[in-house]
Structure 1
């Protein structure tokens, strides 16, 4: 099965984290990608630039697309989408870690599932981690999601149905909806899932944790604030206008998700952990 890893790197990324992320989804995988497209989203540090030159010259499956200016994540991914030559795209962020059997399990599921011909998006569970010292990782909350399409189609009206860094997406379907929405603020992935579902896409998740999601001291702060609230309101208005949600759901989402964006970080962090634990328990996992 052929697939392309699509990832972006930009000025604020760490060389050490980026190297580990790239190695985790290439050399460390039991099933390796057909190709890797790295979008250099604007200027990066000299160290990252040298590293990009080096990996591209030593691995014919790795290709770097250099953008002169940072155009945002959605636009950068769409630039990369134009160059994809495989049937599937596997997303990867520049600071996360794919577990060694991620692609083996995802491609096996896509080949062998009874509805494999219909699947458009396949995600997995993930687990948050912090790096307490070089090469020492501390693992935290697992983030689980429903696995079947019917469950995910309902779940998507309240929360994102897949974890973006874990997904494999059918290339043709992504192109049919125009790629990543570039006017969605910080929710380009969630709006993409809405568009795909409205176009009849079939979603699934693997229950296994197949990606380590890096978090830092500012992770909970970035999930809130007035800018995030504005993007949230804009997203929910789009969902309602498109008929993806009803008026009661629109009001519910604005209240529940909006309040969460504005509560202090000291409250948000334990609330998030409690909510995650309750959700995992409701799914029969821990």
Structure 2
């Protein structure tokens, strides 16, 4: 199996306990461990996270490259800095509040070894009750084959970002991460697909994605609508979507940003997650 780096960004809004669980689940508990961790500190993180980061670096069973950015720059720039620091061409993504299942990399890395350049997986949404007990929620089951991924990508992000493993070379060919209002991952993956990157998803749910009480609220509002419109215009200009697909996406995905939170949650789970455009 190829050696790989784990890319893990952290910023001041993260919680130390969540970071600890995320780190251990993606390193210590893995049946196939990364060769290194590249931990990107995106701006000042405060004393609690600073102490936790130092503990994780000291106790890590694999080397940790600690990238510190003086000011918070946003996810796209933080990931770009992290990718530059990765020793290996194969890079696995992880967020500081999610949890990898122990067999995650043992399933995904062989797919990279077999020739894929971008590999994601399904995942569980989860939350915690007052006692800290994990409560599993909705399943996110992405399309798995290259053809289904390419088709689905014209309407919805075909990858769950915290689950992906990719090659730096494929990311670089597509132009890397570009800031785009919380949708930089979707824009990158669309460009990678258009560039001919061999992409696939594992059907297994290999990551647990933390959903806070305000998760669906943050997916709406005028700011997200502006980002959505910017993304759809970028898709259309690049030729990634047709005119009819552009109109559909603006009406459905744009309208989704403006509906009430309770309706948005139901809409996302019953329509967007289950829709596979052809």
2:220 is aligned with 1:220: no
2:68 is aligned with 1:66: yes
1:15-94 correspondence to structure 2 within 5 Å: 15-59=16-60, 60-94=62-96
Please list every run of 5 or more consecutive structure 1 residues that lacks an aligned counterpart in the other structure.
none
CA distance in 1, matches of 2:66, 2:175: 22
CA distance in 2, matches of 1:152, 1:220: 24
Deviates more, 1:19-28 or 1:191-200: 191-200
Which residue in 1 is equivalent to 2:112? 110
CA distance in 1, matches of 2:59, 2:129: 31
Residues 81 and 179 in structure 1, CA contact (< 8 A), matched pair in contact too: no
Supply the RMSD in Å over aligned alpha carbons.
1.6
Which residue in 1 is equivalent to 2:265? 269
Cα deviation code 1:138-164 (max 9, x no counterpart): 000000011000111111111111111
CA distance in 2, matches of 1:24, 1:134: 20
Q: How big is the shift at 1:85?
A: 1.2
Which residue in 1 is equivalent to 2:168? 171
Q: How big is the shift at 1:61?
A: 1.2
Q: How big is the shift at 1:134?
A: 4.6
Count of residue pairs the alignment pairs up = 275
**TM-score, normalised on structure 2?**
0.95
1:237-256 correspondence to structure 2 within 5 Å: 237-256=233-252
**TM-score, normalised on structure 1?**
0.92
2:149 is aligned with 1:152: yes
CA distance in 1, matches of 2:197, 2:4: 19
Q: How big is the shift at 1:202?
A: 1.2
CA distance in 2, matches of 1:268, 1:82: 37
CA distance in 2, matches of 1:239, 1:262: 21
CA distance in 1, matches of 2:133, 2:58: 30
Q: SS in structure 1 opposite 2:263?
A: helix
Q: SS in structure 1 opposite 2:91?
A: strand
2:131 is aligned with 1:130: no
